[in-house]
């Protein structure tokens, strides 16, 4: 029984070595598809092919497929490590729950300990090899993500430049449209013969040119005013933003100063109250050194038939002045 388990462990050891070799070769093949040569970097055309994507998005598709292959490979390697650990645990459970006849207890324990040690060595070896593969995969994932991010950034910059170029073209077309809009507008109205009058062509032409010049000048002035108004609006907006920020900072500084003054007043008030309490305690101690006690006079209602001396002794004095030193001597 134990000989078959040990043989099975030897087969697993050989399988782990083959498993590591195959996975390592696959990862190296993936790395070669991602590596660059010095000539590719120095050559402008080849460098642009790596920096920018074409219309069919081949480069983005390649990075996506590369990352997905690495993710699947990492999951398979982790699952293989977990499967071997599960097999080792099941074998340990079988050996711990059963005792096979035909062998002594000592021999059984020694053989079971040997099998357990072999499983521990196999798991450690498998974990080491698998971790090496996972580290290699993580390095490739970081490299692919870096290249993909660089591709996206370069593509964004390229699109921004194209947008700027298109905006320049639109500006040219806008200026041309503004220039030719008044003549075409006036020519359209006068082409419908609504302003011919009595059929005087000379007067109609004169009115046409006057109207054309007036509308064109008004349009151009309105365009210039609108353009300058946009620029002034931006400047006014930035100026208001700076002023608002300055006012906010001023209020924050004022609030900090007020908080500091409050803390100072509180600390000075605490010191003054402690001094006042100390003065009151000193006065109280001085008053305790010599104080007087006023006692009421008790009248004995029934003094008849009694000794006068005893009656005088029963009376309490009206006022007794006692010093602290005398009181302590009495005690």
Q: pLDDT of 165-217, one tens digit each? A: 898 888 888 888 888 888 888 888 777 776 666 666 777 778 888 888 888 88
**Judgement on whether residues 10 and 142 belong to the same structural domain of the protein:** yes
> How many domains, the chain?
2
Residue with tokens 């020519």: 187
Given 153, 178, 203, the domain boundary residue is 178
Does 42 map to a domain? Answer: yes
Stronger pLDDT, 139 or 283, i.e. the higher one: 139
In this structure, are residues 221 and 178 in contact, taking their beta carbons and an 8 Å threshold?
no
Could you give the CA distance from residue 317 to residue 314 in angstroms, rounded to a whole number?
10
* Domain match, 13 and 162 both: yes
Residues 168 and 313 in one domain: no
Spatial neighbors of 78 by CB under 8 A, at least 6 apart, are 130, 134
pLDDT classification of 240: cutoffs 50, 70, 90: confident
Residue 273 lies in a domain: no
Residue 213 is assigned to a structural domain of this protein: no
Same domain for 164 and 34: yes
Would you place residue 327 in the very low, low, confident or very high pLDDT band (cuts 50, 70, 90)? very low
Structure tokens at 135: 């580290």
> What's residue 135's pLDDT?
92
- Boundaries of domain holding 311: 294-322
How far is the C-alpha of 224 from the C-alpha of 221, rounded, in Å? 5
280 compared with 298, residue with greater pLDDT: 280
Residue 34 lies in a domain: yes
- Domain boundary among the residues 145, 178, 211 is at 178
Q: Does 204 fall in a domain?
A: no
Residue 35 in domain: yes
Torsion angle in degrees (nearest 10) through CA of 69, 75, 80, 81: 130
Report yes or no on 207 lying in a domain: no
Q: The whole model's pTM is what?
A: 0.50
Final residue in a domain of this structure, among 143, 178, 213: 178
Asked whether residue 272 is assigned to any structural domain, the reply reads: no
């Amino acid at each position: 029984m134990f000989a078959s388990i040990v043989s099975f462990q030897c087969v697993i050891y050989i399988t782990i070595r083959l498993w590591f070799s195959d996975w390592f070769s696959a990862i190296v093949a993936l790395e070669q598809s991602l590596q660059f040569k010095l000539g590719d970097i120095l050559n402008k055309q080849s460098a642009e092919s790596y920096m920018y994507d074409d219309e069919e998005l081949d480069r983005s598709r390649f990075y996506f497929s590369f990352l997905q292959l690495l993710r699947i490979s990492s999951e398979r390697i982790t699952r293989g490590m977990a499967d071997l650990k599960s097999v080792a645990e099941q074998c340990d459970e079988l050996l711990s729950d059963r005792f096979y006849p035909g062998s002594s207890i000592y021999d059984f324990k020694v053989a079971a300990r040997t099998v357990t040690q072999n499983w521990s060595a196999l798991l450690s070896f498998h974990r080491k090899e698998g971790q090496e593969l996972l580290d290699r995969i993580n390095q490739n994932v970081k490299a692919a993500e870096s290249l993909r991010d660089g591709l996206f950034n370069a593509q964004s910059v390229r699109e921004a430049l194209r947008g700027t170029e298109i905006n320049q073209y639109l500006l040219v077309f806008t200026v041309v449209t503004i220039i030719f809009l008044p003549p075409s507008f006036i020519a359209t109205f006068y082409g419908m013969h609504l302003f011919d009058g009595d059929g005087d062509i000379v007067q109609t032409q004169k009115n046409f040119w006057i109207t054309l010049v007036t509308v064109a000048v008004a349009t151009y002035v309105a365009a210039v005013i609108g353009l300058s108004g946009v620029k002034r609006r931006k400047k006014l907006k930035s100026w208001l933003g700076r002023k608002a920020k300055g006012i906010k900072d001023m209020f924050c500084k004022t609030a900090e100063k007020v908080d500091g003054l409050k803390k100072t007043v509180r600390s000075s008030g605490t010191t003054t109250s402690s001094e006042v309490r100390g003065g009151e305690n000193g006065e109280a101690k001085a008053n305790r050194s010599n104080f007087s006690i006023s006692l009421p006079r008790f009248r004995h209602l029934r003094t008849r038939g009694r000794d006068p001396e005893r009656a005088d002794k029963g009376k309490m004095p009206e006022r007794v002045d006692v010093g602290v030193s005398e009181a302590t001597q009495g005690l």
